[in-house]
Each structure stands twice: as C-alpha cells, then as structure tokens.
Amino acid sequence: MPSDAWVPVASALAIIQDPRWSWVRNNPCKYVELRIDTRDMKCRIYDRDRREISLRDLSRQLDDYLSPNG
C-alpha cells in the first residue's frame, strides 16, 4: 500500500486536470478509480487494474513526474 494512501481528492483531481498530464504518457492511469471518504474528502487512488497507487504514481509521465509548481 502506498505510504500516502489517503490523499485529498482535490490533489488527485488537480493532477488529472493539469493540461500537461495525459493518460497516453501514463497508460496504467487510462482509467482511474477514486474511493472517496466524504467525511474528510480524502481518497484512495486505483489504476486501471485496480491496484492502489500513490499521487506520485498518478503524476508519472513516462520518465518524469509533474511538479506541483509547474
């Protein structure tokens, strides 16, 4: 299990909505599932194979990662 298993929903969505992010460059994330705890708006992230992943895994773009500061 990733060390940052429960992460803010907004953080996961920010990565996916970033115009630099593309599932083509992160194929396991073509389909992403978020299991959201509505009590605190944190979530767990799962890839297309329903394996739990971290925010870092989600932000992966081929051989690089998106920086939160651009």
Domain-wise residue ranges, the chain? 7-61
Q: Give how far the C-alpha of residue 33 lies from the chain's centroid of Cα atoms, to the nearest Å.
A: 9
DSSP letter (8 states) at residue 15: H
* Res 4 pLDDT > 80: no
Contact between 19 and 58 under an 8 Å Cβ cutoff? The reply is: no
Tokens of 42: 């944190």
pLDDT at 9: 97
DSSP letter (8 states) at residue 66: -
Q: What is the mean pLDDT of residues 43-66?
A: 91
Residue 19, judged by CB atoms within 10 A of its CB (0-12, 13-18, 19+), counts as: exposed
DSSP letter (8 states) at residue 31: S
pLDDT digits (tens, 9 = 90+) for 21-49: 999 999 999 999 999 999 999 999 999 99
